[in-house]
Chains A and B, each alone.
Chain A
């Protein structure tokens, strides 16, 4: 059974650093991109970026480039989302999700985010 289990909620102050995690199991972790999605309170989903655990390649949405860092550890099947200096506007629920896909005759296609973590709530307040 495919599962993505995220780390617990966090309460931080502005300017502090934070690293949240997403552990995958039940599938070949290194073969699928992991995406991160932000949802501010009462608002919609925001696509932050994706990271490929196989080689740590990552692609960030311009809205998040330079403010967050995405990484992955193959040995522990865990993806990470990291901030070096949090802002109050980072207060949100953060979801990780697996980007599904398939390959036919060497041609690969992505499908969508087929499995999601339970979310990590981050609160940033002075």
Chain B
């Protein structure tokens, strides 16, 4: 089955840039979505179709996808961005989530 791997955690200082990677075989050939989940809350989509931001998502969230790696970038990270982040892609019409990354804002 298709797998998406993410680093378990990423630490970033407030105001700096956080980059979260998602790796999978030929991932660049698939569309990737990214979800933010804060403790006790339902997930929230922050990026879809690799680079698109849903309405209401701050511009500091951006995405890219090429080769075997998709990346979610948070520019000017704020304390409120501390959360778990999951990538998601489709493989033969079945979805799969990445392993998840805990972003820590120090």
Q: A residues within 8 Å of B by Cβ? A: 35, 37, 44-47, 49-50, 59-63, 95, 97, 100, 109-114, 116-119
Contact = CB atoms under 8 A, between A and B. Distances in A.
B1 A62 contact: yes
B33 interface: yes
B96 A111 contact: no
A32 to B, nearest CB: 14
Q: Which applies to chain A's interface (DSSP): helix, strand, loop or mixed? A: strand
Contact of A61 (B88, B95, B98): B95
B81 interface: no
B97 A47 contact: yes
12 contacts: A46-B97, A47-B96, A61-B95, A110-B31, A111-B45, A111-B48, A112-B45, A113-B33, A113-B88, A114-B54, A116-B43, A119-B42
Give the interface centre of A37, A46, A62 by most chain B CB atoms within 10 Å: A37
Contacts of A63: 1
Interface in B53-106: 54, 84, 86, 88, 90, 93-100
Nearest to B97: A45
A50 B95 contact: yes
Contacts of A117: 42
Interface of B: 1, 31, 33, 35, 37, 42-45, 48-49, 52, 54, 84, 86, 88, 90, 93-100
A3 to B, nearest CB: 12
Contacts, number: 66
A95 B42 contact: yes
Contacts of A119: 42
Contact of A59 (B44, B54, B94): B94
Given A45-B43, A100-B48, A119-B42, A112 B88 contact: yes
Contacts of A44: 84, 86, 97-100
A117 B93 CA distance: 22
B100 A116 contact: no
Contacts of B43: 37, 45, 95, 97, 113, 116
